[in-house]
Amino acid sequence: MKDETIVLHAGHRRDDSTTSVAVPIYQTTSYQFDSTEHASKLFSLQELGNIYTRIMNPTCSVLEERMTKLEGGAAAMALSSGQAASAIAVQNICHAGDNFVSSTDLYGGTWNLFSNTFKEMGIECRFVDPAKPEEFENAIDENTRCIYAETLPNPKLQVFPIGEVAKIGNSHNVPLIVDNTAAPYISKPIQHGANIVVYSTTKYIGGHGVSIGGLIIDGGNFDWAAAGDRFKMLNTPDASYHGAIWTEAAKPLGPIAYILRARVILLRDLGSAMSPFNAFTFIQGLETLPLRMERHCENAKKVAEFLEKNEKVSRVIYPSLMEEEYFSRAKKYLENGFGALLGFELKDGVEAGKKFIDNLKLFYHVANIGDARSLAIHPSSTTHSQLSEKEQLSTGVTPGYVRLSIGIEHIDDILEDLDQALSNS
Ligand code: PLP
């Protein structure tokens, strides 16, 4: 099936007991076992089935299956937030005393997690500037467990060299984890060599802005057994699960050792499960994702062209307008449009930026991206303003920078709002 069909049909055609076509909300904590033998088989993973909603739930399973198919992966796991997804994606294979290598171009919340909270947990993050992909190699040593990056990181919006870095990582038996939150449908990191994909479903997957959620998708394309010395947690008996060896336990189920461990160890122990109700809302959003992304991208491109011509704007940051190196990377990795995030620089700096935001009438001023509605934020509204000038510049955000997340409203209304806000700022 093609993407547009997968998001409507994969994982659920009708509910067997009621014939319901819409995916039901299985709002239950528990599932009745047939017998003590049945319960024992489920717990020992001899048979797969529902046990308890903290570990799995049939409504979440439909979302997981649709996203697995959309990404071309092997299996997925839904979580309570995008933050939980990034944390668990790394923690599943990177423990105290280990290190991992991350692109510097990250969402601020992920940056904090990696540089502060993980540090407190004894996990070292080594940051590498993706402008020099070859430097990922220098940062890898025998205790490195993964490389982490975002496909389309804001504010720089320079697409990550997924294939180039996946190749470097895989030559050292190190998998690549990619946060594809800003580019669902338009980019398929697994097809380019990434091994794990992470999402904040809070953004485009939902699109409606009503729920917080996250996902980890296992590409099933990394040989954890062949990299046995690096990944003892997947290749030696796990005391936390009756001595299970995950690469062995997963054999009858498919190449899913990584996500199986994440589910039955970390989701079980840390408890950051997605609620079935939120999964239901994400399923409603996902049904229209391809159509929405097409409109998001079409509108964003028109906004970029409009802003480029405005005399108050000194610079527009959008993948299709970048210098050759980044433009060709964007064409390679963003197959269905250049995304809907866009930055621009006002000639008159920070005060003009604040005025512009305050003048907006249609755009919402919020700390979010990927809503069907158009959104805007100025760094002065966030903790970014508390960074030193040098730190601010290193993030790619300059004083007059404004970030837009372009929605799917009619383009004339979007442009009219931008025009009036600019002329009054
Ligand atoms: N990854 C990216 C790229 C994000 O933009 C965000 C949130 O803004 C997250 C992860 C975290 O997601 P959540 O807010 O769902 O925890």
Which of 104, 181, 281 is the pocket-test mutation for ligand 1 (most atoms within 8 Å of CB)? Answer: 181
Distance CA 69, CA 74 (A): 8
Q: How far is the CA of 238 from the centre of ligand 1 (A)?
A: 31
Question: Nearest residue CA, atom 13 of ligand 1?
Answer: 82
State which H helix or E strand residue 257 sits in. Answer: helix 257-261
Question: How many residues in total does the chain contain?
Answer: 425
Three-class DSSP category at 149: strand
Model pLDDT for residues 144-182, shown as the tens digit of each residue: 999 999 999 988 999 999 999 999 999 999 999 999 999
Model pLDDT for residues 220-246, shown as the tens digit of each residue: 999 999 999 999 999 999 999 999 999
Q: pTM of the predicted model, to two decimals?
A: 0.96
Q: Quote the tokens at residue 179.
A: 């946060």
Q: Which residues pair with 102 in a beta bridge?
A: 127, 148
DSSP structure string for 345-403: EETTHHHHHHHHHHH-SSSEE-S----SS-EEE-GGGSGGGGS-HHHHHHTT--TTEEE
Residues 6+ apart with CB under 8 A from 354: 378, 380
Question: Nearest residue CA, atom 5 of ligand 1?
Answer: 107
Task: Please report how the helices 162-171 and 324-333 are oriented relative to each other, as an axis angle in degrees rounded to 10.
Answer: 80
Q: Is 184 left (phi over 0), alpha (psi -120 to 50) or beta?
A: beta
Ligand 1 neighbours, Cβ below 6 Å, are 81-83, 86, 107, 109-110, 150, 179, 181-182, 200, 202, 212, 214, 369
Which of 79, 197, 199, 203 is the pocket-test mutation for ligand 1 (most atoms within 8 Å of CB)? Answer: 203
Token pair 């014939």 is found at: 19
Ligand 1 atom with least separation from CA of 181: 3
User: pLDDT tens track of the chain, all 425 residues?
Assistant: 999 999 999 999 999 999 999 999 999 999 999 999 999 999 999 999 999 999 999 999 999 999 999 999 999 999 999 999 999 999 999 999 999 999 999 999 999 999 999 999 999 999 999 999 999 999 999 999 999 999 999 889 999 999 999 999 999 999 999 999 999 999 999 999 999 999 999 999 999 999 999 999 999 999 999 999 999 999 999 999 999 999 999 999 999 999 999 999 999 999 999 999 999 999 999 999 999 999 999 999 999 999 999 999 999 999 999 999 999 999 999 999 999 999 999 999 889 999 999 999 999 999 999 999 999 988 666 555 555 565 555 666 677 889 999 999 999 999 999 999 999 88
Question: Nearest residue CA, atom 14 of ligand 1?
Answer: 82
